[in-house]
Amino acid sequence: MIKKIHILGIILASVLLMSCIEERLKADDAENAAAYLQVRGGRLLNSTDPLDNEIERLRILAFNKNTGRCVSNKLYYAELNEVINHPIDDGTYDFVFLANEPNIVIIVDALNGIYEYADLESIMYPEQAFQSSVSIPMFQKLENVEVLPGQDGARVDGGEIQRQIELQLERLATRVDVVLEGEEDLTDYFKGVTFFNVPEGITLMSASNTSLGRNKTRKYTLADDAGYFTSVTPSAEQRSRGIVWVKKITRFILPFSNFTPENDDSKAITFKVDLEERHSPSCYLKIQTAGVSGASKDNYTLPYNSALLLTGVIKDPININIQVTPWGKEEHGWEAQNRYLNVSDISVNITDFNGARITFSSNMPVVKVLPDVIVAGSKTMKTEKVFNDLILAAGENSTTRFAYTYDVIRGEGTGYMDILLDEYNMDVETSLVNPDGRHSIFRLILSAEDENGKNSLQREITVNTSQYGAHFQGDHWNGYGYIGAFFRENEVGERIISTQLPRLEKQDYALGYWEVEVDEPYKDQVILSTTPSFDPYVGTDNPGKPEEYPVRPNEYKKGEMESGGTKINGRGRVYFRVGWRSPNPNAGSTGEKAPRYATVTLTFTQATTVENGWRPSYKLYLRQGEAADYIMNPQSSILDGPLQGKSRAYARKFSAFNITDRELKNKTEDYVGLYAKTSKRDAKFVDYPTQAGAFYQWALSKTDEDMADFIRRAYNPALPYNTDSPEGYWTSTQYWNKIPIWASSGSDEQYEYGYGEEVEVCPPGYHRPSDGYIDQVSYNGPYPNYRYGNGYVDVNGITVTERIKGEENIAFSEWRQSLWLNPWQGETIPDTEVLVGKGDEENEKIAIREKTSPAYVANKDINLLFGFYADGYYDRRPMKVQIATTSRLTARLGVGVSINSPSVAYRGTLVYNPENNASTFFPAAGRRLDRGGYLEYVGETGYYWSSSTGPNTATAQGSIVKSVWSVEIAGWNPGHLHILPTFGYSIRCVKDEMSSN
């Protein structure tokens, strides 16, 4: 910021006690001296801190004006309110006064040995000489001083005769005081502060220490340096800004840091706030100053004889306001102006997931962002196409991301802007040709003007942008919008909801408006904010923890503050954060709290085809709690379908997470392992609902020794993703002479029992959900279904002459009763036509077809949404394109995060209950094809195993094989299919309750 610096004169306060060194004088001693230089003392001005004014030692050096030789060199120990009579022959001299020189032998010896003026220039005071616990080194130079005979006084540079010289010493240090503010109580986390890149010292007679190293570190902790730190109750003004924690830190004394060029940030002192168990934010110490024609410039210097007051709100990056307070009257080249435009920062770094808040003040009545930004030299782009909603319309003083309020009486105004990327986001095609992301530098112009747009004073703000992934124009219809958010039971921190909206085609392509409101009765539980995330790493593969970034209403938006963060609005890109006001208070009988749920409603203008605008709304479903839970209430009755009027006895508590092997869990992008072997009942839940987990084949022959290595094999969900699976990676072979059955025992000789005991990988207390019987074959509806036109087929070696009815089987389906409001029978693939039979050979072209799917209605018989899910993982990492295959010849693209690691996560399907808003998310992890294990349908469909065996099925190749029941959950209606057990699917476990059939 631009500050006018007033550094007032300081009067030396000292008294002669003793001389300590030999003097080069013609007179033998003070009594016989031909003349005196009389130095009068008094208090140092402009500091109420006596430590700032303290002088313990004063060295007076006099140099012959003509020869430069040192003729007087004397050290005095001094006290206040006395006079020093320094004996010296009358004549003309250059004087140097050094106060509080370091009591270091090598320094004292060097000063004692001064022979000529140039010797002073080789003396360096080291960094340790500048400490809060010792008197501050000071100096003054007086040139061309004529000392008159006797006690007649002296004349400085031809001026009036002075009987006493009043010194104006300057401190060779920078004093730093800090006020830290927090929007949450940081008492349990704050441990101290650290200064990095502190200069090794100062060169005595130079205002610059450019050439000196900057490798010193100053660390101050609450434990060891408690005297620096004071806790303060927030003021009313601070509370109005949401500040609840204030720490004042007083009187750090540092060697000055003055260098050229001033904008060399490699020499800047770095200030860090040390937080335990949190990311510790830091920033360069920088004073914003005025340059030519009022353009602001970077100034990382901390000049001598200056006191700095640092005020910052603890965020990351920490935003520090530096105010230069008066220690003296030197201006150090800073320019004072009648017009001013102060900004909190002139260079910021953002990704496409976060933003930067810049506050500003001015004495001009109008402040606005100019309509063009500069990029790539002199090229320009429209500001509104790059940054979200910063441009004022005629007569406005605010947008949804910018506001300026001017007080006419005081002649001062303040404002803010949140810099957030908008349409300048990478689409899929751009991300494919820029695998390392896109990095652009924009120069945004903030202009302060009078009412007529004249006499402008402008500040150029550099915005460094980095985008590492793809963005989508979307909503909940095409699966490219956010549909909900997940928090563990003790989590309340930010979840980021963002999507691109099209411009309003029928309204001159203006930006569309949107609003979000917390639904009743959740307004006292959920909080919203348009303030962007200030996590500097969000949008990269290594973001910060969302709990470090709580959600609070935007203090600069009146309506948002008035609603208490329950209703927000914006224009253009939809971007907001959602959090909970407190951890989940629900009681838990076994240490796990039952999740609680809430909804918020997003409404936006979608006027690309409707003349007067179209304002659709949809709900986002929030969940706080990781414990397994019911979606459908097991006490409720089924209202429609084949099970109408029956109880929901087989509804189960579904885990919120897929499972993986302990060796694959949380592995990063550089992990190349393709699979791991999971022990019985030893799979691990992933940490986030969007993570794919591992793929497992349903089972292979448990008696065939050749299959032993493949049983319970957990396949990497991301690699390999091409068409060349490594040798020995996968097996598609089936050697079952009998039908594999999950249950442990039974009497039917055509069954081989006990597969559950051998291949179950769900952790203790959980099991793989059934889709019908687990102790016999489940038909779950009419069979055969003739899906591949094979006519009547064998069922376990018996020729089928009429259709088997199996609708009663689904009464034992944990999958259907848990997810469906009204469970239906059969292979629930909507509108699937299958061939029932053909005419005779002469009429071969006449086919008889029927639909196999029931006439259920989406979001009536089962409630679901397909899209992105903000769980603290997916919403913080860049979305990237992943290659998969639908066959060995056809490539498809899937979009996810961490796509080359076992921690990969995808968009997916949220199944919810509108009665209580309970919800569970199923990521569209795709699957491994039964032939070779090729990865397919990633980001499109989730495939999950049940524990139920299906009837024999006909493959596309015409063979008849044994099958098992599985679930497909995607953007379309979910399907229950019996399919080959050699596919690689995800597994979702349910809590053990009563024993199944």
Q: Residue 83 has which token pair?
A: 């006079």
Report pLDDT digits (tens) over 329-350: 433 333 334 678 888 788 899 9
> Quick check: 44 pLDDT over 50?
no
How far apart are the C-alpha atoms of 253 and 125, rounded to whole Å? 14
Above 60 in pLDDT, residue 879? yes
d(CA 517, CA 549): 21
Three state DSSP letters for 760-778: CCCCCCEECCCCCCCCCCC
The pLDDT score that the predictor gives to residue 892 is 59
pLDDT at 576 over 60: yes
Strand stretches in 70-127, DSSP E: 70-77, 83-87, 91-99, 124-126
Q: Point out the least confidently predicted range of 50-54, 59-63, 259-263, 403-407.
A: 50-54
- What pLDDT is attached to residue 16? 27
Range in 410-424, 443-457, 679-693 the model is least confident about: 443-457
- For residue 238, the model assigns a pLDDT of 83
Task: Please give the Cα distance from 927 to 472 (Å, whole number).
Answer: 24
Give the per-residue pLDDT at 723: 67
Please check the confidence at residue 45 and state whether its pLDDT lies above 50. no
CATH code, residues 35-171: 2.60.40.2580
Q: Is residue 28 predicted with pLDDT exceeding 60?
A: no
What does each C-alpha distance from 85 to 29, 93, 768, 900 come to in angstroms? 11, 16, 96, 80
- pLDDT class for 34, splitting at 50, 70, 90? low
Task: Tell me: pLDDT of 844 over 80.
Answer: no
Q: Which helix (H) or strand (E) holds 193?
A: strand 190-198
Question: Is the distance from CB of 818 to CB of 636 less than 8 angstroms?
Answer: no
Closest CA to 817 of 946, 661, 949: 946
Q: What would the mean pLDDT of 200-209 be, rounded to a whole number?
A: 92
What is d(CA 18, CA 295) in angstroms, rounded to the nearest whole number?
A: 54
Predicted confidence at residue 766, as pLDDT, reads: 98
Per-residue confidence at 664, pLDDT binned at 50, 70, 90?
A: very high
Percent of residues, the chain, with pLDDT higher than 70: 82
Question: Would you say residue 910 has pLDDT above 50?
Answer: yes
Instruction: Give the CA radius of gyration of the chain.
Output: 38
**Distance between CA 292 and CA 792 in Å, rounded?**
89
Higher pLDDT among residues 1 and 978, named by residue? 978
Is the domain covering 173-330 a CATH 2.60.40.2630 domain?
yes
568 vs 610, higher pLDDT: 568
Question: Mean per-residue pLDDT for 859-865?
Answer: 84
Is the distance from CB of 594 to CB of 781 less than 8 angstroms? no
Please state, in angstroms and rounded to a whole number, the distance separating the CA atoms of residues 946 and 772. Answer: 9
User: Tell me: the pLDDT tens digits for 395-415?
Assistant: 889 999 999 999 999 898 999
Q: What percent of the chain has pLDDT over 90?
A: 51
The span from the CA of 508 to the CA of 206, in Å, is 62
Taking the C-alpha atoms of residue 38 and residue 225, their distance in angstroms, rounded to an integer, is: 41
- Confidence class for position 325, pLDDT limits 50, 70, 90: low
365-395 pLDDT, tens digit each: 999 999 999 997 778 999 999 999 999 988 8
Identify the pLDDT of residue 885.
63
* 281-295, 378-392, 587-601: least confidently modelled range: 281-295
pLDDT value for 79: 58
Burial class (CB in 10 A: 0-12, 13-18, 19+), 50: exposed
Domain boundaries of the chain, sorted by first residue:
35-171, 173-330, 347-467, 482-624, 654-991
- Give, for 323, the enclosing helix (H) or strand (E): strand 319-325
* Range from 28-32, 465-469, 492-496 carrying the lowest mean pLDDT: 28-32
The yes-or-no verdict on residue 17 having pLDDT over 70 is no
pLDDT of residue 971: 67
Q: How confident is residue 328, by pLDDT bands cut at 50, 70 and 90?
A: very low
First to last CA, the chain: 74
pLDDT, average across residues 969-975: 75
pLDDT band per the 50, 70, 90 thresholds, residue 52: confident
Distance CA 948, CA 741 (A): 7
Please say whether the beta carbons of 212 and 225 come within 8 A: no
Mean pLDDT confidence for 599-625:
82
- Identify the pLDDT of residue 365: 94
Q: Quick one: which H or E segment has residue 882?
A: strand 880-885
Question: Looking at domain 347-467, which CATH architecture does it have?
Answer: Sandwich (2.60)
Q: Structure tokens of 854? A: 């029931």
Confidence at residue 927, expressed as pLDDT on a 0 to 100 scale: 94
pLDDT for residue 989 is more than 60 = yes
Beta-strand ranges (E) seen in 25-153 are 36-40, 57-64, 70-77, 83-87, 91-99, 124-126, 138-147
Residues 347 and 671: their CA atoms lie apart, in Å, by 36
Say what the pLDDT of residue 157 is: 87
| pTM summary value | 0.74
294: left (phi over 0), alpha (psi -120 to 50) or beta: left
Token couple for 803? 């259709």
pLDDT at 736 over 90: no
Res 10: pLDDT = 28
Three-state secondary structure call for residue 110: helix
Task: Indicate the average pLDDT of the chain.
Answer: 83
pLDDT of 671 over the 60 cut: yes
* Helix and strand numbers, DSSP H then E, in the chain: 8, 65
* pLDDT of the residue at 24: 33
- For residue 22, the model assigns a pLDDT of 35
On whether the 482-624 domain is CATH 1.20.1440.230, my answer is no
Q: Is the separation of the CB atoms in 2 and 340 below 8 Å?
A: yes
Average pLDDT rounded to a whole number, residues 241-246 = 86
Instruction: Judge whether 655 and 989 are in contact, CB under 8 Å.
Output: yes
Q: What is the pLDDT of residue 321?
A: 65
Domain pair 35-171 / 482-624, same fold: yes
Sign of the torsion formed by the C-alpha atoms of 587, 619, 551 and 545 = positive
What pLDDT is recorded for position 15?
Answer: 26
789 sits in the region (left: phi over 0; alpha: psi -120 to 50; else beta) called left
Q: Say if CB 178 and CB 310 are below 8 A apart.
A: yes
pLDDT in tens, 290-308: 444 444 567 888 888 888 8
Nearest to 38 by CA among 78, 83, 80: 83
13 vs 801, residue with greater confidence: 801
Distances (CA, A) of 647 to 462, 781, 912: 64, 19, 19
Q: What distance in Å separates the CA atoms of residue 85 and residue 98, rounded to the nearest whole number?
A: 16
The pLDDT of residue 794: 58
Could you give the CA distance from residue 218 to residue 197 in angstroms, rounded to a whole number?
Answer: 9
Closest CA relative to residue 87, chosen from 159, 20, 25, 42 = 25
> To which H or E segment does residue 715 belong?
strand 713-715
Mean pLDDT, residues 426-453 taken together = 83
Q: What per-residue confidence (pLDDT) applies to 172?
A: 93
CA 790 from chain centre, in angstroms, equals 56
Tell me the three state secondary structure of residue 816: helix
Residue 56 contacts residue 25 (beta carbons within 8 Å): no
Six-digit token string for 902: 């076992």
